[in-house]
Structure 1
Amino acid sequence: MVTLFDNYEQQYSVLTADITAQIGSLAASNTKDRRQLISNIEKHVEEAQELLEQMDLEVREIEAPKKTRCRTKLDCYRAELKRLTLEYIKARSIKQGSLGYDSTDPDDNFDPRISNDQKQRLLDNTEKLERSGNKLEESYKILVETEQTGTQILQNLGEQRETIQRSRNRLRETDEELSRASRILNAMIMRSLQQKLVLLIVGACMFIALCLGIYLGFKN
């Protein structure tokens, strides 16, 4: 199955092949073609840098088994683009006069300051790309650590929830035991009251019988 990362790889391969071919043609080109080649190379280098940034973002969405391989490829692509950038700077700095040309175009004689500025700009772009990649890598590590911390917190909360649930169940069982004990105690109290009432009735009956016996004894 072709992934988005694979599509970016194909586009990157086409761009770097074009850059390599144009760098090879740069030193032997005339003034007009040289300016066009320079414009095309710089445009393609910027597009390649954007593709590497997209590939770096896409790597984060790839599953672990394939992620390491894609990360290694991405590092190789960055090194390759840096090498091509340096080759372009070297080819750009070669003057046409050293190749046997007699140019009458004032733009053909490069001002060292302009060449150095452009060289520095390309180097800055390459370094910026590397810094962006490093920042994205650090952000990804922080994201992974945050995700692990969140997972650990969720596990702890789950364990605490189970502990609370068990405590609640024990409290419910204790409450049921107390309810049963309360019912038993109430039944014992009722039986005790009933026994006392029976004793009172028996005592009253015996008192009445005694009184009645004494009365009848005196009457006779």
Structure 2
Amino acid sequence: MSSHKFESLDEEVESILDQVTDKLECGVKQCKSKEEQKYLLRDVEQLLKDASNSLTEMDIEVKKAPVDYRNTMNSKILRYKDELIRHQQHYEQEKATHSRMSNRSTRFSSTADTDTFDAAIRKQIQDGTAVLERTSGSIARSTAIAAETEQVGTEVLGELGTQRETLSRTRDRLVDADGELSRSKRLIRSMSRHVVYNKILLVIIIILEIAILGGLVYWKFFMK
């Protein structure tokens, strides 16, 4: 069965992703200033990092879990990682939008040149691309683990099938042996009855011989 730590991490990741969803879909729109939006995006960034770290720990717990439960655990992790990617993309979009608006506001209020603004945008895009590449690599590793788990499960099922056939043959032999024992018991009971009958017959013969011998002695010594 899955570990207590995995279940705790599962609840933690689900709670974090719910918070991220609420902040990105509702919180950003409710921000009244760019500064408030900036702090909200920082919170989202930290939540995404916490979720990523928790998923890494969940991957470690999967490797410790029994083989029968790994497929279910890996499926749950993959679902969370897909959701994390979507939130990461949404976050990057909101962050880029906020950055553009901030830079645009600064540009209109100062003499900052266009090259600096473009460099900032390029950096944001590069950072977002790097995050997506890391997330994709994590998904690829999780997929490899799932494939390995499936292979192990197939091998275990094959082994169980072989053991089932062995047990079936053993059961058949036990049934045959039980039949032989039943026939042996009946034969022994029959032999026992014959032995008793023979003993009774032997006693009767002995008694008859003694009676005849007594009659002969009486006739020989007492009848004359």
Question: What is the CA–CA distance in structure 2 between the aligned matches of 1:108 and 1:136, rounded to whole Å?
Answer: 47
**1:33 is the counterpart of 2:36:** yes
Question: What is the CA–CA distance in structure 2 between the aligned matches of 1:136 and 1:68, rounded to whole Å?
Answer: 11
Counterpart amino acid of residue 34 in structure 2: T
More deviation in 123-132 or 35-44? 123-132
1:71-124 Cα distance to aligned partner (Å, 9 max, x none): 1111111100001111222333446999xxxxx963999945434423432442
Counterpart amino acid of residue 28 in structure 2: L
Counterpart amino acid of residue 136 in structure 2: E
Structure 1 residue 28: deviation in Å?
3.8
1:26, 1:92 within 8 Å by CA — same for their partners in 2?
A: no
Q: Provide closer, same or farther for how the CA distance between residues 129 and 20 of structure 1 changes in structure 2, counting only shifts above 3 A.
A: same
The runs of 5 or more residues in structure 2 that have no matched partner are: 110-115, 156-224
Counterpart amino acid of residue 50 in structure 1: N
Normalised by the size of structure 2, how large is the TM-score? 0.51
**1:45 is the counterpart of 2:48:** yes
Q: Provide closer, same or farther for how the CA distance between residues 8 and 95 of structure 1 changes in structure 2, counting only shifts above 3 A.
A: closer
Q: Matched residue pairs, number?
A: 142
1:1-220 equivalence runs, <5 A: 3-24=4-25, 25-29=27-31, 30-94=33-97, 106=106, 111=117, 113-132=119-138, 134-135=140-141, 141=148
1:165-212 Cα distance to aligned partner (Å, 9 max, x none): xxxxxxxxxxxxxxxxxxxxxxxxxxxxxxxxxxxxxxxxxxxxxxxx
Counterpart amino acid of residue 131 in structure 1: G
Structure 1 residue 66: deviation in Å?
1.1
Identity value in percent: 14
Q: Provide closer, same or farther for how the CA distance between residues 128 and 28 of structure 1 changes in structure 2, counting only shifts above 3 A.
A: same
Structure 1 residue 27: deviation in Å?
3.7
Question: What is the CA–CA distance in structure 1 between the aligned matches of 2:100 and 2:125, rounded to whole Å?
Answer: 20
2:81, 2:139 within 8 Å by CA — same for their partners in 1?
A: no
Structure 1 residue 126: deviation in Å?
3.6
| Corresponding residue for residue 161 of structure 1 | none
2:20, 2:44 within 8 Å by CA — same for their partners in 1?
A: yes
Runs of 4+ with deviation above 2 angstroms: 89-98, 104-120, 132-141
Q: Provide closer, same or farther for how the CA distance between residues 16 and 22 of structure 1 changes in structure 2, counting only shifts above 3 A.
A: same
Question: What is the CA–CA distance in structure 1 between the aligned matches of 2:108 and 2:96, rounded to whole Å?
Answer: 11
For the pair shown, the structure with the greater C-alpha radius of gyration is 1
Question: What is the CA–CA distance in structure 1 between the aligned matches of 2:12 and 2:107, rounded to whole Å?
Answer: 33
Q: Provide closer, same or farther for how the CA distance between residues 108 and 55 of structure 1 changes in structure 2, counting only shifts above 3 A.
A: farther
RMSD: 3.8
1:27, 1:91 within 8 Å by CA — same for their partners in 2?
A: no
More deviation in 60-69 or 86-95? 86-95
SS in 1 for 2:37: helix
